[in-house]
Structure 1
Amino acid sequence: MAYHHGDLAAALLTAGLELTRSGGPEALTIREVTRRVGVTPNAAYRHFPDRQALLDAVSAAIQADMAGRMATGRPPAGPRETLRAVGLGYIAFALAEPGWFAVAFFGAGDVTPDTVVDSPAYSALAEALDMMVHIGDLAPSGRAAATWSCWSTVHGFAELALRGPLRHVDGAEVWRLAEQAVDTVIAGLPAVV
């Protein structure tokens, strides 16, 4: 892809997305992105002051795409079903896009709980849990712990399936186990008594 006119920042972002899709965060370099776009590295620095700034922009675009895919899989049902769809959507994205998954959660530098709260994937989870609290299906006192329990379950499962012992298991069996993991964590959320 050669850059001739238009929005250089968008062209650099697109090239960054292409590189990281298969290669993860390590594949992203200013030199390779600018080579693909057909400009000098100095041109990129007018839009992204350094590699980390470009990687942050790529990560944000990936997270937005991930949240969109998670929303697509949600059935028009109650909050528990929505929470299940969000969790399985997270795992499905990780399995389908391992390079992007690595960028989304490990490419953005020092991620803190505060920066995670701003991510679209977190927002999808938070909305489902908030709705469960609102309708009385989740105890308000358990809301904060539910966030990290749910997220660590789906994230941990995705990592086990991508880089751990589950990477050697048949895809259909991995998906069955993913559904079981998500269902188990949802069943364990504290109900209002």
Structure 2
Amino acid sequence: MTGAAYHHGRLREALVEEAVAAARAHGPGGVGLRELARRVGVSHNAAYRHFAHREDLLVAVADHAMTEVVGAMRVRLADLDAGGGSVEVAPVLRARRRLTAIGRAYVDYALREPGLFQAAFAALAGDGDWRRRGQGPLDLLGEALDELVDVGFLAPAARPGAEVTCWSAVHGFAMLTVAGPLAGVAVLDRAATLDTVLTSIDRSYAATTGSAADPADLIAGT
């Protein structure tokens, strides 16, 4: 993008677009106000009027990424629901599969957009729009966990704090595959390991109510 490529009053949007592109290509290290201002075609002083610090720009990148993550989760959930067709799925199995689909969508996004994914988590101490709207991945995860309680699979006493433990496991796996020792693992082996992570979460929730938790049923639906 050049200075002629944005309209007056759209400088902030232009900087965010360039920041997202830079993060996608180079991760958080690619996001710098001076360089992005140069690419947009304005002085760095003009850029600082919209973003006082680089961290402020990273928050905007995080907002973009988290919005995309939620979108990917919703697509996965819609595909899961559509895949059932006319076949009736028991409420418990449906709820279990929905939680697993959210986890898979999260990891898929991390693998598809590793630079943007890492840049997003370089800014989570900030206050992005996705936090203020209450429409982040954690909110969608919370809805899935509430559904597990509603169908009697997850005990109400085990529900508090479940978002953090569940997200920690899936995010840890995502980071291990994006920038850790699992980065070079073959695709099929990586998928099998993710199955193990997700079925372990499922099994731990089943244990809170003594429910049956057949991994084969869980994996078959997602």
Q: TM-score, normalised by structure 1?
A: 0.89
Partner of 1:3: 3
Displacement of 1:168:
2.0
Map 1:36-75 → 2, pairs under 5 A: 36-74=39-77, 75=80
Q: Which amino acid aligns with 2:28?
A: P
Displacement of 1:192:
3.4
Partner of 1:79: 95
Q: Which amino acid aligns with 2:189?
A: E
Structure 1 position 26 matched with structure 2 position 29: yes
**Judging changes above 3 Å, is the alpha-carbon distance between structure 1 residues 62 and 155 closer, same or farther for their aligned structure 2 residues?**
same
Displacement of 1:169:
1.0
Partner of 2:219: none
Partner of 2:186: 170
Q: Indicate the percent of aligned positions where both proteins have the same amino acid.
A: 35
1:136-165 deviations in Å (ceiling 9; x for gaps): 221111112422221111111112212222
Whether the aligned pair in 1 keeps the contact of 2:72 and 2:105 (CA below 8 Å) is yes
Q: Distance in 2 between matches of 1:159 and 1:116?
A: 25
Whether the aligned pair in 2 keeps the contact of 1:24 and 1:100 (CA below 8 Å) is yes
The alignment of Structure 1 onto Structure 2 pairs a total of residues equal to 190
Displacement of 1:117:
10
1:39-58 deviations in Å (ceiling 9; x for gaps): 11111122222211111111
Structure 1 position 104 matched with structure 2 position 120: yes
1:64-121 deviations in Å (ceiling 9; x for gaps): 111111211111162211100000111111111111111222233479xxx6995611
**Judging changes above 3 Å, is the alpha-carbon distance between structure 1 residues 156 and 176 closer, same or farther for their aligned structure 2 residues?**
same
Gaps of 5+ in 1: none
Q: TM-score, normalised by structure 2?
A: 0.78
Q: Distance in 1 between matches of 2:178 and 2:132?
A: 21
Q: Distance in 2 between matches of 1:21 and 1:169?
A: 22
